[in-house]
């Protein structure tokens, strides 16, 4: 009986071991945005393709990540949306328990204060009515894979040259991959420097879905 109990705990521990690496957690967060090749993941996580492959192998062994072939490409994806929920809950628990993380996150959300009194469904309602512009500043393929309702895609690296497309009289709410992502913060900083009323929504697609809120998709995302 003891051997059986040991085996059961060992199997659960496989998940803990798989997510016990900061870089593997980052890869999971990236895959929350949609399917990606190992080359895309390596570039976005700022590691070598060899190291990204090694981390992905560990995640696959724990059945957290799966693959599929798309022509000459091998695409990595989360095994299910419950893996995205696992990431969101793990990060949320860490934020609840760790003061160091709370302090670090507070420095990223300098422009989030004004949204505290506005819940997610209220943002949806105001976006549907055209009272706010929800801006998705992630890469276009991530927007295609999944995005918040009524959001407009405008990747942060295109934002500066496309500012004229945005209405100056409508508040902008920018979001990216979640609380650890800096793209929305950079977008808000840029927008405010150019006279826009802009705010940072820290939740991304994974957090939105974990709350049971609606997510929209386009046709199959383009592959790089």
Active site residues: 176
For 188, other C-beta atoms within 10 Å of its C-beta total 25
Distance CA 31, CA 105 (A): 21
Q: Which structure tokens are listed for 131?
A: 């009272």
DSSP for 29-62, written as a single string: HHHTT--EEHHHHHHHHTS-HHHHHHHHHHHHHT
Distance CA 13, CA 39 (A): 29
DSSP 199: E
């Amino acid at each position: 009986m003891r051997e059986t109990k040991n085996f059961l705990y060992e199997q659960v521990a496989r998940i803990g071991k798989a997510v016990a690496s900061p870089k593997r957690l980052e890869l999971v967060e990236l895959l929350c945005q949609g399917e990606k090749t190992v080359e895309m993941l390596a570039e976005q996580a700022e590691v070598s393709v060899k190291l990204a492959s090694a981390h992905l192998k560990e995640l696959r062994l724990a059945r957290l990540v799966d693959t599929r072939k798309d022509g000459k490409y091998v695409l990595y994806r989360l095994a299910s949306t419950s893996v995205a929920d696992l990431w969101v809950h793990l990060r949320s628990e860490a934020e609840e328990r760790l003061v160091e993380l709370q302090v670090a996150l507070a420095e990223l959300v300098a422009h989030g204060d004004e949204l505290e009194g506005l819940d997610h469904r209220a943002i949806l309602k105001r976006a549907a009515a055209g009272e706010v512009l929800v801006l998705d500043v992630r890469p276009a393929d991530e927007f295609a894979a999944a995005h918040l309702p009524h959001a407009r895609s405008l990747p942060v690296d295109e934002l500066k040259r496309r500012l004229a497309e945005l209405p100056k009289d409508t508040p902008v709410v920018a979001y990216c991959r979640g609380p650890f992502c800096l793209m929305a913060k950079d977008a808000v900083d840029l927008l405010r420097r150019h006279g826009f009323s802009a705010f940072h929504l820290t939740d991304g697609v994974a957090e939105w879905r974990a709350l049971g809120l609606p997510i929209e998709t386009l046709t199959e995302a383009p592959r790089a």
